[in-house]
Structure 1
Amino acid sequence: MEGLTISWIGALAGLAIAIILILRKLNPVYALFLGAIVGALLGGANLEQTISVLISGTQSVMGTVIRVLAAGVLAGVMMESGAAETIAQAIVKKFGGSKAILALALATMIITAVGVFIPVAVLIVAPIALSVGNKMGISKLALLLALSGGGKAGNIISPNPNTIAAARGFNLDLSHVMLAGVVPAICGLLMTVLVASLLKTKGVKVSDQDTMDSDVDTSKYPALGRAIVAPLVAVILLMINPIGSISGIEALSSFKVDAMYILPIAGIVGMLAMGQGRNILKYSASGLNKMTATVLILIGAGGIAGLISASDLSAQVVGLIEASGVSGTLLAPLAGILMAAATASTSTGVILATGSFGEAILNMGTAPLAAAVMVHTGATVIDSLPQGNYFHVTADSMKMSIKQRMGLIPYEAIVGGTMAIVATLMYGFLL
């Protein structure tokens, strides 16, 4: 494959084909692979070179894949034990009805931040949101924005596949990328609460029928003190190295243990703290099952990222940016925005953006950590489009029609856009 440069037209055609096939309901993995194959052939590669492009691309995501699978242990523990629900209930109860939108957004943010997938986090908090919305007269639009915006904020500081992909894409420690996302995440949370508060009376309200099956039996859930052990252990272990680097304490900064070890360890410690040691096989199997679909999509994304990185598309984009006089720093968030919009997935968008434009972004003088945070936050702007499963899962969770759910996309973009702008100003221009 040495010396092969696929035409940028082939790369764009391959990406377009993949998106069209996803919209036509073909399995995303096959859609991404087919797009990569057709794009490579159209771009001038022969059959043998096309296979090399695919293999090279999928190999590039294997580091992300094994870390995502390892994260499945923590995710399985948090979901199956009821720990995530306990945390959500505690936050909503603590804030009370008067601060309902803040409580719902914060609950979803925290559950996502501790390693639960954003669609699952929304599913966990949705019954609470429906119940609160019914009592307080808050519209479904405002409720789902609180959940989705809070989830987006938590997602950029979490040990989830998207953050792992951002870290691995620029050869960084996961903890550094999580920590760098804190300020943009807080700004995203504040924007969520502000916009959702303005939407409280807009759109359809929650009916009594909507709340019929929203009562959650909490009797078998662990106590809050035990529920927070797993995420607390994960956060402490992940933050030892960056805190050491910031404070100059060599003993801490030399603690370089990969998230691949830390996340399963945290899950097991949390399981034991909740007295659920006997369920280790059940919880880890559940976590693995929940990660399988994501892993397959990441592999598919690796295939099409291989196509784009083997093409001259990034060079063409860089040329356009230089010709227009726009700062090269903007390539990072723009790559995240466009790739996540194309695939309707934060993690797939990050994989494509880092695999396709990573080298070009760094060549324009952007530091790796800045690049990772800008790509990552950019990928949250318009990642909830109808060709992705997040759109449909969240619509079902709040009993909304497709049309009602479509109406939320611009407001979600405001939240994601806020985080991307804050990250770009902080890491692209100020720091």
Structure 2
Amino acid sequence: MAAIEISWIGALAGLALAIALILFKLAPTYALILGAIVGGFIGGANFSEVISILISGTQSVQGTVIRIIAAGVFAGVMMESGSAGTIAKFIVDKLGGTKAMLSLALATMVITAVGVFIPVAVLIVAPIALSVGHKMGYSKIALLVALSGGGKAGNIISPNPNTIAAAGGFQLDVNQVMIGGMVPALFGLAVAVIIASLIKYKGTKVTDLEAAELEKSSITNLPPLSKALVAPVIAIVLLMISPVGSMLGVDFLANLKIDSLFILPFAGIVGSLALGKTKEIVNYCTAGLNRMTPTILIIIGAGAIGGLITASTLPAEVVALVEATGISGVFLAPIAGILMAGATASTSTGAILATGSFSTAILNTGVAPLSAAVMTHTGATVIDHLPHGTYFHVTRNAMGMSMKDRMKVVLFESMVGITMAIVAVVLFGFIL
């Protein structure tokens, strides 16, 4: 690979082509691989060199792929067993009433933070939100701001594919990135609640007919909270052992670096046993893997385009451009996250592309790996909810919203995302 030298023009053309094809609805994996191939040829590579670039790039993401496959066990248990629904219902029931927006945002944040995908988290909490909104007279726009904002906050502190990818792109443990995102996440939660509270009576309300339908379709056989918490508590405790050991100066704990590859499947299986769902473990694993498969395929494609960019002069050119403009290299990380997630309308895909394609350039500006990972990750939440992605439409359908109302939420979602990105930049770019 060292002998292969690709022009930065080819790398940029390949990346631009891949993004354009994604926007035209070609499967992201094919779009990314095709972009890598075309970019390689434009950059001056021959047939054998293009193959070498593709193989090297896809091999570089295998660590991330296997961790995401392992995380599917945990995600499957949380989603399919009803545990996530139990946790969400408990939070809303306890806070409810005048603290409705906080309870809804917090519920979505928590169940996303414990490993449930953000669109699934919104689907789980949406019926509860609509029921609360009907009783309190709140608008659907405000309700979705609370759910989506809380979900974004939870997503940057979760063992979800986006966090695993952000960690893997900078050679970090996933728990380091989860902890690093905690302060930005709390700010994001606060902004989501404030915005939702300010606009809670503005916009379309939940109708009586919708409320009646919710009553008919409400799920009553959810597991008890004590059992639902087993899997996430085990996962969080085990993931925190090494960081806590480092903070306390306990070398034994600090050196006990148990990877999420082991922790998440273990927590999921123990959680299934606690739920009394031993016979369902295989089904949970299958369901979890099925949910992870689209992300895994995207990562393989992202590895291909990342291999192209790594083999090119683009990282060096980006660093030179940053230095020439006098802009701090700190801003390259969040900008990469914002642009890639905005182009693909996906937090996971944005984080994967930003770290896989620009990690070298970001680190070459002198930014520390953890700072780079957190800033890139939070940047990926700013405009990842645009209409050309699935999240926009999944959440619109979950809330029974018109396209006009759903578009109104986009700006408020971006305000939550930009808040988290700014806090991350201030904290990790200038303070720490």
Contact 2:319 2:364 in 1 (8 A): no
One-letter code aligned to 1:7: S
Corresponding residue SS for 1:124: helix
Q: How does 1:277-356 map to 2 (within 5 A)?
A: 277-356=278-357
Take 1:68 and 1:103, find their aligned partners in 2: how far apart are those partners?
Answer: 29
Q: How far has the Cα of 1:310 moved from its partner?
A: 2.2
* Structure 2 Cα separation of the partners of residues 138 and 314 of structure 1: 48
1:214 is paired with a residue of what secondary structure? helix
Deviates more, 1:399-408 or 1:24-33: 399-408
* Alpha-carbon contact 2:23-2:343 (below 8 Å) kept: no
**Contact (CA 8 Å) 2:61, 2:299: kept in 1 or not?**
yes
**CA distance 1:270–1:320, change in 2 (3 Å):** same
2:375 matched to which residue of 1? 374
TM-score by length of 1: 0.96
Matched, 1:7 2:28: no
Say which is worse superposed, 192-201 or 113-122, in terms of deviation: 192-201
1:73 aligns with 2:73: yes
> Percent identity, aligned pairs only?
65
Structure 1 residues 402 and 11, CA, compared in 2 at 3 Å: closer, same or farther?
A: farther
Partner of 2:388: 387
Mark the runs of 5 or more structure 2 residues left unpaired by the alignment. Answer: none
**What residue is the counterpart of 2:425 in the other structure?**
424
Q: Which one-letter code corresponds to 1:123 in the other structure?
A: L
Check conservation: 2:302, 2:356, Cα contact below 8 A. no
Can you list the C-alpha shifts for 1:17-59, whole angstroms capped at 9, x where unaligned? 2222222222222122222222222222222222222222211
- 1:256 and 1:153 map into 2 onto residues whose CA distance is 26
Question: Which residue number corresponds to residue 183 of structure 2?
Answer: 183
Deviation at 1:3, TM superposition (A): 2.9
Q: Does 1:244 align with 2:245?
A: yes
Report the alpha carbon displacement of residue 212 of structure 1 after superposing the two structures with TM. Answer: 4.2
* Partner residue in 1 for 2:97: 97
- Deviation string, structure 1 residues 176-200 (Cα, Å, up to 9, x no partner): 1111111111011001111111221
Partner of 1:258: 259
**RMSD (Å) for aligned C-alpha atoms:** 1.5
Residue range with higher mean Cα deviation, 404-413 or 238-247: 404-413
Distance 2:358 2:140 in 1: 38
Note if contact 2:86-2:222 (Cα within 8 Å) is conserved in structure 1: yes
Find the counterpart in structure 2 of residue 234 from structure 1. Answer: 235
Change (3 A) 1:386 1:35: farther
2:271 aligns to what?
270
- The answer to whether the 8 Å contact 1:298/1:347 transfers is no
The 8 Å contact of residues 318 and 361 in structure 2, kept in 1 or not, is answered as no
Q: SS of 2:89's equivalent?
A: helix
Distance 1:12 1:138 in 2: 46
Number of the residue aligned with 2:206? 206
Q: Which residue of 2 aligns with 1:127?
A: 127
> 1:334: how far off?
1.2
Q: Residue 201 of structure 1: CA displacement?
A: 2.5
Question: Deviation per CA, 1:195-225, whole angstroms, max 9, x where unpaired?
Answer: 1112213332222333344335443211011
Q: C-alpha distance in 1, partners of 2:355/2:96?
A: 42
Q: In structure 2, what residue type is equivalent to 1:263?
A: L
Q: Contact 1:305–1:351 (CA<8 Å) still a contact in 2?
A: no
Q: 2:208, 2:34 → 1: CA distance?
A: 46
Out of 384-393 and 279-288, give the one that drifted further: 384-393
Instruction: After superposing the two structures, state which structure 1 stretch, 51-60 or 188-197, moved more.
Output: 51-60
